[in-house]
Structure formats: structure tokens, C-alpha cells
Structure 1
Amino acid sequence: MMKTELLIAEFLSTPWALMPERLNAVSAVMARWSSHAPATTEVLAGIDVDKVTREARRQNATSVSGGGIAVLPLYGVITQRGNMIEDVSGPGSVSTQKFAAALRQALADESVSQILIDIDSPGGSVYGVAELADEIVAARAQKPIIAIANSLAASAAYWIGCSASEFYVTPGGEVGSIGVWQAHFDYSQALAAEGVTPTLISAGTYKVEGNPYAPLDPEAQAFMQSRVDDYFLAFSKAVAKGRGVPIAQVRNGMGQGRVLGADAALEQNMVDGIVTLDETIRKMLLKARAKAKTKGSRIGLAAQRLALAEL
């Protein structure tokens, strides 16, 4: 019971960079939790199947190839700490903190020469996303970091993908949903129907504004809008920097909040190319071999010069 109450509170207080289409599914879960209705047998069975499927995919992706490529999976709804909704349904969740830890481990591993971020996510909470994106940008100075939407990089996931040195999408994949939103649920009538009248005891002029026990007043809505606008500006700046385009192009193009298919995304410079995951890995391996060959040639030439100098 306590877990669901905390999750509802988290959902209501968090600005989201998440596909709006997922709002309906999330809202349905919130409604069930709020009414304390148990999940049906079918829902629970689906959750179990989803958990097994996504865990198998993560284990398969989390590997280091013979060519020294570390594949880091970024699957599911993005949250900052822990896996908040891992036992709910769908693709599960991914923690920005845990992903950052995996990134640091790959950077420290001398057997890893390149990093591939395998993304399949509708986005998530804005918390922790800017920090993770900045860390990826900084990490590019140490090792090449490639990202691929396989098959979805939406909202916060697109924000993170844009921080890589190169960003690709699979032929059947989608990217975009550039935007931020926040929800407010008014439970006042539902509570009144149940004979429940909440009384909030608070200190501080705006301490309880936007609470779910009353309709949202214009002042509270304006403040919530300002928070969303601030995060949207940060999101737009990050995409503009990552894609090397003006902020106006991000806001007036690139889907304007919509998710775009591979061809449309490439046309609007939202990605660097359309390739499969296997093709991306092969390209990375070829680059690594070419680099090693060039390095070997330079070492050989340096050795010849040294030998000549000693004669």
C-alpha cells in the first residue's frame, strides 16, 4: 500500500519527458492504485511475462564483444533512482544513476574501446536526465560513444541519445517526442462521493498548491507551466547542441512533440543514419580495426626511424 501511495505522489509531483501516449496507460494504473483495486490475474500474468522478456533482453545486450565494444542497454521508463515501476507492466524502467554507474565501469575497463548505447525507451522523468547526458558528453573525450534507437528513443531517451557522438535509428524505429509535461489529478469529487473531506494543515504560502484534493487554480497552474517551460528549454538546448542545429529548428521542427519514423527523423537531422543494431556494431568493429592498423603502421614507422637514427 505504501509503495503505491509513494508512486502516485511521485507521479503527480514530477515533470515528465515521456511520450504522451503513455499517459493513458499510466493514468489507468494510477486510478487502480488510488481505488486500491487489485490487479487482475491477466494483468499479473502479463507483468510476469514482461519481466522475463525484458530481463532476457538486458542480459543479452549487456556484454562486451570481441572487438571491445561495451553494449549498454537503456530500456523502459527512465527514472532517477532505482527501478520504481519494474513490477508494474510493459518495458519496466531504467535508472539514470545505475546507467551512469555502468557507463563509468565501461570507461574504466581497458578491454573496452568503444561504447554502444542500445535505446528502447518512451522517456520518463526529467530528473537525472540532464546530468546523465552531460556525463555522456564528457565521456566522449575518453572513448567513442554511439547511440541507437532500437527501436524507440522518445522524449528523455531522445535527450540522452543526442548526447552521444553519433546517433542512429533502426529502419523500423522511431525517435522524437521532444517536450515536457506534468499532470494534475483532481480527486475532490471522487472523495466527496465517498464522504471523504481532506483537510490540509500547512505552513508556507504555496506549500500545498497543486494538491490533488481540489481543482487546480490558475496561479498553481501557471507555476506548473513555468516548471515545464524551464525543462523544455533545457531539453531543447541539449538537442540543439547534440545535433548541431539552432534551438529554433528544434522547437519549430523535429516533430514538435511528435514521434517520427526513421526516414522522417533522418530528413530533419534528428539522427545520423538508419541502420540495424548488428550493422552498427559491424561499423564500430571496422573503425576499431582501421584505427588499430593505422596505429600499428605509425608504431612501425617510428621503429624504423629509431633504427635508422641508431646506425
Structure 2
Amino acid sequence: MTSLIHIADRVLNRPLLITRDKAEVILSVLAGRIGINAPEASRFEGSSVVEDENGARRAVPYRVTREGVGIITVTGSLVNRGAWVGASSGLTSYEGIGFQLKSAAADPAVRSVILDMHSPGGEAVGAFETAALVRDLAARKRTVAVVNGMAASAMYAIGSGATEIVTTETGISGSIGVVLLHADFSRQLDREGITPTLIHAGAHKVDGNPFEPLSDAVREDLQAEVDAFYASFLATVAKGRGNRLTAAAARKTEARTFIGQAAVDAGIADRVGSFESVLADLTRAPGRSTSQPRRTSMSEKTGAPAAEDDAGIPKADHDAAVKAARAEGRAEGEAAGAKTATDRLVAALSAEGVKGDAARMTAALDLAQKSPGMSGEDVAAFVSANVQPAKAAASYEERRAAAAAGLAQPARSEQRAEKRASINPAAIYKSRAKQEG
């Protein structure tokens, strides 16, 4: 019963980007007649562990072939949150898909991506944000969405952001529409002698509840919500497909689904193919060997990763990005080096037994500059053990007393020592560097 409550919370009175048949199945589940057993995600191409040129191995949240083709498989009904809820439960989350998309975009081991799709759709909330992540990925790396069974509704919205959509001969795609399911159990409850009472504050707090029929006003409000999601769906498809499927053309499909070549004819897909043919195409892409592990080529002039014909961005943009990254890295390295040097000197000059003593502070500064391999703590320890402290300078009160008694003023060297002892370590370092520079 608990699981049915959770399912009801997910689907009742919420706009869904899902096929009509799937909605009917869900309603049957809520009636307690059947269960859902979604197929386990299964893909034998590639590995979830990649190895870099230095032999370091790391796990990734998708599969990657030896040639650098990333494979992100999405199956089952789609929900907004749930992290790694997967196909074994019948649910896949946008949260998990998004993490995979962003990781693949940033992964140097991934040259191109296959979005392996088999889903009837799911929740409207989160679908369009995930589609935007696919568009971002496609802008950086060639991304091919494969209708490997079904890409309907929310799944199609997500796939629409890919570089191209390939459908299998029997693949089902489309269903560009929104459905909201309301179940009225009031007559069943009457037959069972159950009368629910909803105590609430706020006139619309219990709108669309399953214990009474929908009023005309509530139906209009829910229809307005569905229409708003529909407009967003059409806009999302247009952003991803461009002239291949405009918002107006998508609207004309009236949420129909298309099989194989019919999807291509309607602009829903770009060509008929298969997962295997797409993988072979990406594997044979220029600049890659199909028999050797992926290796990043290096520019002979700069030593930076070289642009490739199939990298997903123009070579000029690639070179500009590499140049900017190298400059940024150099600036960060210089800043880090300067901070390390300053911290080392401050540690040496601020140590107990050194700080405040002009002779020892001078000796520590000299030793730190001449022996860069010594830590600040080692410099301070050496100076404290081997350099005699400066003669204590007369205080201001002592000088006043001496002047009143007619005695000689402290020697200038002692006055200078007192002044130098009052300077903070960072100031000493900057002054010394300026003199030597």
C-alpha cells in the first residue's frame, strides 16, 4: 500500500510528459491489478572505468569505449529527483541523468556521446532543464540520441537537444504533448461506506483531490497548467531541433508517435539506424584508431592537446581555448608560488625567538633567500640557535629619563635597531626585495 501511495503522489494531478498507454498502466497499478517490471539497463559496449595516459584508472557514471565514445543509457519512467534511482526500480531520475551529462561534457576521455534512449517519458518538472544539459553537451561534443526502442514525451524532449536523432526501424518516438491524470474514487468510497472529510485552509488547497469529482473551475485551472507545460515542451523541441522541427511543426503532430522512417519524414528524427551503426560511425570518426586505446594527441608547437576534426568545436576555437587555459594556469601558478614564498618568510620571521629581534630577523631573511630548500620553521630554528640577539634598545621612557638626567642619548645604531624590530615580517621582505630588485 505504501508503494501505491508514493506512485499516486508522483502521478495524480501532475502534468506528465508521458504516453497515453503508460498513463493507463499507472492507473491500473493504482487500482491494484498489476505491477511494473521495467527492463534492467543492459549495455555491453565500453567500460565504466577509464584509464589515462599515465595509467591512472577512475570510475565514471556511464560507459566509455576504447575510442572515446561515451554511452549514457536512459530506460524506464522518468522522475525529477531520486539521484541514482535506476531501471531496476522502473524509474530513472533527471538528477542522475544530469550528473552523467555534465560529467561526460567535462571528461577528457569522452570524445563523443551516444544517448541510448528507451523510455515512455515521465514527469514534466525537470525534463526541460535536462534537455538544456543535452544541448550544452552537444555544443561541446558530438552527441547522437538513439531511439533504441522508445523515446516518447519527456524522453523525446531530452533527446531533442542532441546533435542528431537516429531511430531504429521499429523505434517509437514523438508524443510531444502533456497529460494530467485525475482519478475520482468518490463512487468507490461510497460503495465501501467510506466518507472522507477534507479540513483545509485556502480555497484551492484541495483542488483535484481524488475523493470528489472535478469542478469546472478546477478543471480549467489544471488545463491552464497543462497548456503552460505544453508551450515549454514545444519551445524546448524548437531549441534543440531548429529548422528540422519548429515549434509550429511540433504542435501539428498533435502528440502523435511515429515509428522508424515515419519519424524521419515528420522531422522527429534525422535518419534510420541502430545503436550498433551509430557506435561504429563514431568509432570510425577521423583521427581515431578502432584497435588502439584512446590517446590525446599533443601539439608539437605548444605541447597542449591538439584539436581534432571530430572534437565538436572548430580548431580555431579549440586553439583559443587552449591558449586561454594555459595563460590562466600560468597566472594561477605564479600567484600560488608567490603566496608560498611569502608564507615561508612570514613563518621564519614571525617565529618565537626571531620576531622583534633585528639581528635575528635580518639573519633569517638572508638565510631564507639563500637557502630556498629550507622551510620557514627550519630557518627560524637555525637562526635562534646560531645568531646572538641584538642588544636591547632603550625604551621611550628610559630615553626620557636619560635626557632629564643629562645623560647621552642611545646610539643611533640602537635607535635603528629598535625601529627595525618594530617592522612586521612582510614589510621587511618587501623592502629587501625592492632593494635587491
TM over 0.5: yes
Q: Matched residues in 2 for 1:86 and 1:217: separation?
A: 37
Distance 1:282 1:87, change over 3 A: closer
| Pairwise CA distance, 1:301 | 10
Instruction: Select which of 40, 43, 67 maps to 1:54.
Output: 40
Residue 84 to residue 193, structure 1, CA distance change in 2 (3 Å): farther
Q: Kindly indicate whether residue 13 of structure 2 is the aligned counterpart of residue 13 of structure 1.
A: yes
Matched, 1:129 2:127: yes
Alpha-carbon spacing, 1:264–1:117, altered in 2? closer, same or farther (3 Å): same
User: CA deviation digits over 1:249-300, x for unaligned, max 9?
Assistant: 11113xx212111111111111111111111011112225379xxx97x957
Whether the 8 Å contact between 1:68 and 1:111 is mirrored in structure 2 is: yes
Counterpart-to-counterpart distance in 1, 2:86 and 2:276: 30
Output the CA distance in 1 between the equivalents of 2:149 and 2:140. Answer: 27
1:302, distance to aligned residue in structure 2 (A): 9.9
Residues 282-301 of structure 1: matches in 2 within 5 Å? 282-289=280-287
Q: After superposing the two structures, state which structure 1 stretch, 199-208 or 3-12, moved more.
A: 3-12
Partner residue of 2:148 out of 147, 150, 156: 150
For residues 138 and 242 of structure 1, what CA distance do their matches in structure 2 show? 10
Pair 1:64–1:209, CA change in 2 (3 A): same
- After the TM superposition, which segments of 4 or more aligned residues of structure 1 sit over 4 Å from their partners? 58-62, 83-88, 298-303
Contact 1:169 1:273 in 2 (8 A): yes
Q: Which amino acid aligns with 1:148?
A: V
Runs of 5+ unmatched residues, structure 2: 47-61, 290-295, 304-437
Corresponding position of 1:24: 24
Q: Distance in 2 between matches of 1:124 and 1:266?
A: 23
Residue 309 of structure 1 is matched in structure 2 by: none
Matched, 1:268 2:266: yes
Structure 1 position 250 matched with structure 2 position 250: yes
Q: Distance in 1 between matches of 2:45 and 2:302?
A: 42
Distance in 2, matches of 1:86 and 1:162, equals 22
CA distance in structure 1 between the partners assigned to 2:288 and 2:87 by the alignment: 41
1:140 is paired with a residue whose SS is helix
Give the distance between the partners of 1:191 and 1:86, measured in 2 at CA. 34
**TM-aligned CA distance change 1:8 to 1:84, over 3 Å:** farther
Deviation at 1:240, TM superposition (A): 1.9
Match of 2:189 in 1: 191
8 Å contact from structure 1 (residues 15, 181) kept in 2: yes
By how many angstroms is 1:60 displaced?
Answer: 5.8
Q: 1:250 to 1:196 in 2, by over 3 A?
A: same
Query: Residue 185 of structure 1: SS of its match in structure 2?
Result: coil
- 2:119 maps to a residue whose letter is S
Q: How far does residue 65 in structure 1 lie from its aligned partner after superposition?
A: 0.6
Residue type of the alignment partner of 1:258? R
- The one-letter amino acid paired with 1:54 is E
For the residues of structure 2 that align with 1:261 and 1:140, how far apart are their CA atoms? 25
Compare relative contact order (CA 8 Å, sep 6+) and give the higher one, 1 or 2: 1
- 1:307 corresponds in structure 2 to none
- Name the residue aligned to 2:2: 2
What pairs with 1:201-212 in structure 2 (closer than 5 Å)? 201-212=199-210
**Pairing 1:36-47 to 2, within 5 Å after superposition:** 47=37
Taking the aligned partners of 1:160 and 1:288, their CA distance within structure 2 comes to 28
| Alpha carbons of structure 1 residues 85 and 137: separation in structure 2 relative to 1, 3 Å | closer
User: 5+ unaligned residues in a row in structure 1: which ranges?
Assistant: 304-311
Sort the Cα spacing of 1:6 and 1:300 in 2 relative to 1 into closer, same or farther, 3 A. Answer: closer
Which residue does 1:72 correspond to in 2? 72
**Matched residues, number:** 279
CA contact (8 A) 2:134 2:159 kept: no
Instruction: Give the residue type in structure 2 aligned to 1:67.
Output: E
Which of 209, 214, 217 is equivalent to 1:216? Answer: 214
Larger Rg: 2
1:112 counterpart letter in structure 2: V
Corresponding position of 1:277: 275
Looking at structure 1, the residues matched to 100 and 24 of structure 2 have their Cα atoms a distance apart, in angstroms, of: 32
Q: Name 1:139's counterpart in structure 2.
A: 137
Distance of 1:217 and 1:14 partners within structure 2:
17
Contact preservation (8 Å) 1:67, 1:288: no
Letter in 2 for 1:242: G
Query: In the TM superposition, what whole-angstrom CA distance separates every residue of 1:196-247 from its partner, at most 9, and x where no partner exists?
Result: 1111011111111111110110000001101110111111111122222332
